[in-house]
Amino acid sequence: MKEYDIVIIGGGPAGLAAAVSAKKNGIKNILILERDKELGGILNQCIHNGFGLHTFKEELTGPEYAEKFIQQVKEGKIEYKRNTMVTDISPKKVVTAMNHEEGLFEIQAKAVVLAMGCRERARGALNIPGYRPAGIFSAGTAQRFVNMEGYLPGREVVILGSGDIGLIMARRMTFEGAKVKVVAELMPYSGGLKRNIVQCLDDYGIPLKLRHTVVDIKGKKRLEGVVLAEVDERGKPISGTEEFYSCDTLLLSVGLIPENELSMAMGVEINPVTMGPEVNEILETSMEGVFACGNVLHVHDLVDFVSQEAATAGKNAALYVKMGNTRKRKGKKILLNAKEGIRYTVPGAIHVENMDENLMVRFRVDNVYKNCYINMYLNDERVMHKKCLVLTPGEMEEIKLIKEDLLSYPNLKTITLKIEEA
Amino acid sequence: MEERNFICICCPMGCSLTVVMKGEEVVEVAGNTCKRGDIYARNEVINPMRMVTSTVKVIGGRENVVSVKTKEDIPKGKIFECVRALKDVKVNAPVYMGDTIMKNVANTGVDIVATKNVECKEA
């Protein structure tokens, strides 16, 4: 069986950045496994601009951002296999994969980096009544058709859900000559970034209907229209508010789910809120030597943060290979509690002695909060009280933990984050 | 006096901005909670600019289309002229990132460049 120091599952933004970082940290024997025909992952179909403002201080398109990392992978002579599907990872880190050239094969890894990304929530998860005609796509599928395959999925479009991909596709379909009639969002706030609402909807006069959902789908062979209705506080459609929109295409942009079948089969513990692996201060999962980063860990809004996170995972995988069990999880485990208003934190628990000098903790809030405070408590003492003009579920937040502060705190047991409204 | 409304995109706050115009001149910006909102609103009424990204067809390539962008931002009012100009453009593979696909799109003085590599189809 062939052996590698680090095997990275997935050649998207997370996998690429993890590989580059592992290489920089002294590991030569790295393999990236990618199931698609090219490296770059979802960035290949994200042809719009706005990537890399944090990392490269310039505004790049998705393919350009990916290419910067692909170049580094090539320059570093990091091995990769494309068109290669991983079917299993054993608890002993034997990776089973297959492709056309080699058939089914096994690889022994010393460390594994999980970077499989996420997939879109589909119609089946929404319980929309009505027929199942052609013309209903997830927004990302439509994006791939238009931007990579060169097909336009339809001419008259309604979009359900205001996630970023749906907003981006509203503009993209408009450019290709389609008429985007409306974007309906169940929640009272958008799930996407504000700048996408302005640049993708407002610029083109596309209405966004908050607190609205699709209650019926018309058409048998091809979609002929959808019925939208307003919803009440509990998300139930309000009778009498139904309105028919004729359309041949319905795009769903209703959320992303980390793709963790491989992780779960391997025995990695999954956080029920993020649907991604539970990780510690070095982004190591519940299994020793198995790391996770990017959208497989928790869904991000900005690829820049994926790259940063993946670089951390790659570095720690490299350190694990070099130091093995000598770098055990030192000291006791401190839990990070996500309380009032905070849905989750990544990581969810840390070993302070094992931390780098600083640690970025990323989290999302559960609602829109204006003029509020993010508070951090060490045990019962409030140590941070940071004013925020606005927090929304669509934008990931972060705070920095400082090792020295935590080490010097007497008898630290828990770190708690919560929102307090002013 | 004319009033125009925007949502500021400088930060997640998303302030509702109102710009009071007298002819071509900005008289007042209201609704912003910081300096950046003021600057955004003034640019947005006088000369809003956007980068345009799209795709054009490729002949003989491994992919059917290649992604492209305006090399710099163009005036917002020129966006549709720009995408219409790209509608029937076909380029021969191979195409490389940064290749000029069209010069001076829609008389903006800005070129269209490829943002991806598309190699030739293998024989």
A347 preceded by cis ω (within 30°)? Answer: yes
Tell me whether residue B122 is in a domain: no
β-bridge partners, B25: B22
User: E-strand spans in A201-330?
Assistant: 208-210, 212-218, 225-230, 243-246, 249-252, 256-258, 290-292
A149 contacts B9? CB cut-off 8 A: no
Task: For residue A8, give the nearest of A278, A317, A260 by alpha carbon.
Answer: A317
- What's A148's DSSP letter? I
Structure tokens at A117: 């990304």
Report how far residue A226's alpha carbon sits from residue A218's, in angstroms, rounded to the nearest whole number. 6
**For residue A384, what are the CA distances in angstroms to A344, A410, A418?**
18, 17, 10
B59 and B95 share one domain:
yes
What is the side-by-side order of every strand in the sheet holding A333-338? A349-351, A333-338, A414-421, A369-378, A381-391
Write down the residue that tokens 């345009």 correspond to: B52
Tell me whether residue B101 is in a domain: yes
B33 contacts A49? CB cut-off 8 A: no
Strand A208-210 vs strand B49-50: parallel, antiparallel, or unpaired? unpaired
pLDDT reported for residue A97: 98
Domain extent for B88: 53-114
B76 and B99 share one domain:
yes
CA dihedral (A102, A106, A111, A112) positive or negative: positive
Chain B residues touching residue A177 (CB < 8 angstroms): 87
β-bridge partners, A158: A182, A250
Tell me whether residue B119 is in a domain: no
A203 contacts B7? CB cut-off 8 A: no
Task: For residue B73, give the nearest of A209, A203, A31, A106 by alpha carbon.
Answer: A203
pTM of the model: 0.92
Nearest CA-CA distance, residue B49 and chain A, Å = 11
B28 and B59 share one domain:
no
Q: Identify which of B11, B13, B69 has the shortest CB distance to residue A61.
A: B69
- The CATH number linked to B64 is 3.10.530.10
pLDDT reported for residue A327: 61
Measured from the Cβ of residue A394, the count of other Cβ atoms closer than 10 Å reads 22
B59 and B102 share one domain:
yes
Report how far residue A283's alpha carbon sits from residue A346's, in angstroms, rounded to the nearest whole number. 9
B65 and B108 share one domain:
yes
B116 contacts A63? CB cut-off 8 A: yes
Tell me whether residue B14 is in a domain: yes
3-state secondary structure (DSSP) of residue A193: coil
* H or E element in which residue B63 lies: none
Tell me whether residue B123 is in a domain: no
A4-50 confidence digits (pLDDT tens): 999 999 999 999 999 999 999 999 999 999 999 999 999 999 999 98
3-state secondary structure (DSSP) of residue A409: coil
pLDDT reported for residue B23: 82
B75 and B108 share one domain:
yes
Query: Residue A168: closest CA among chain B residues belongs to which residue?
Result: B53
CA-CA-CA-CA torsion for A19, A70, A163, A243, nearest 10 degrees?
-140
Report how far residue A4's alpha carbon sits from residue A214's, in angstroms, rounded to the nearest whole number. 49
Q: Identify which of A150, A199, A395 has the shortest CB distance to residue B12.
A: A395
Query: From chain A, which residues contact B within 8 Å (Cβ)?
Result: 44, 47-49, 59, 61, 63-64, 67, 146-150, 175-177, 193-195, 197-199, 202-203, 389-392, 395
Report how far residue A108's alpha carbon sits from residue A88's, in angstroms, rounded to the nearest whole number. 12
Q: Identify which of A61, A193, A395 has the shortest CB distance to residue B67.
A: A61
A195 contacts B9? CB cut-off 8 A: yes
Report how far residue A117's alpha carbon sits from residue A29's, in angstroms, rounded to the nearest whole number. 23
**For residue A41, what are the CA distances in angstroms to A35, A36, A143?**
9, 8, 13
B interface mutation test: which of A38, A46, A194, A199 has the most B CBs within 10 A?
Answer: A194
B50 contacts A203? CB cut-off 8 A: yes
Distance of alpha carbon A337 from its chain centroid, rounded? Answer: 21
Q: What percent of chain A has pLDDT over 70?
A: 99
Average pLDDT over all residues of chain B: 90
Average pLDDT over all residues of chain A: 94
Q: Identify which of A44, A47, A392 has the shortest CB distance to residue B53.
A: A47
B57 and B77 share one domain:
yes
Which of B:12-31 have CB within 8 Å of A? Answer: 12-14
Task: For residue B97, give the nearest of A219, A13, A407, A44 by alpha carbon.
Answer: A44
pLDDT reported for residue B122: 82
Strand A225-230 vs strand B90-92: parallel, antiparallel, or unpaired? unpaired
Write down the residue that tokens 């969810």 correspond to: A348
B85 and B105 share one domain:
yes
Tell me whether residue B70 is in a domain: yes
B65 and B85 share one domain:
yes
Structure tokens at A400: 């920095």
B74 and B95 share one domain:
yes
B62 and B102 share one domain:
yes
Report how far residue A18's alpha carbon sits from residue A12's, in angstroms, rounded to the nearest whole number. 10
* C-alpha count within 13 angstroms, C-beta hemisphere, residue A99: 15
Count of domains for chain B: 2
Tell me whether residue B120 is in a domain: no
Query: Cβ of B117 under 8 Å from any chain A Cβ?
Result: yes
Residues of chain A with pLDDT under 70: 325-330
Residues of chain B with pLDDT under 50: none
Chain A residues touching residue B33 (CB < 8 angstroms): 389
Structure tokens at A289: 């030597």
Measured from the Cβ of residue A109, the count of other Cβ atoms closer than 10 Å reads 27
pLDDT reported for residue A243: 97
A381-A383-A389 Cα angle (round to 5)? 125
Write down the residue that tokens 């024989």 correspond to: B123
A363-A368-A371 Cα angle (round to 5)? 95
Tell me whether residue B91 is in a domain: yes
Query: Residue A144: closest CA among chain B residues belongs to which residue?
Result: B65
B61 and B104 share one domain:
yes
User: E-strand spans in A11-102?
Assistant: 30-33, 49-51, 60-61, 79-81, 85-89, 94-99
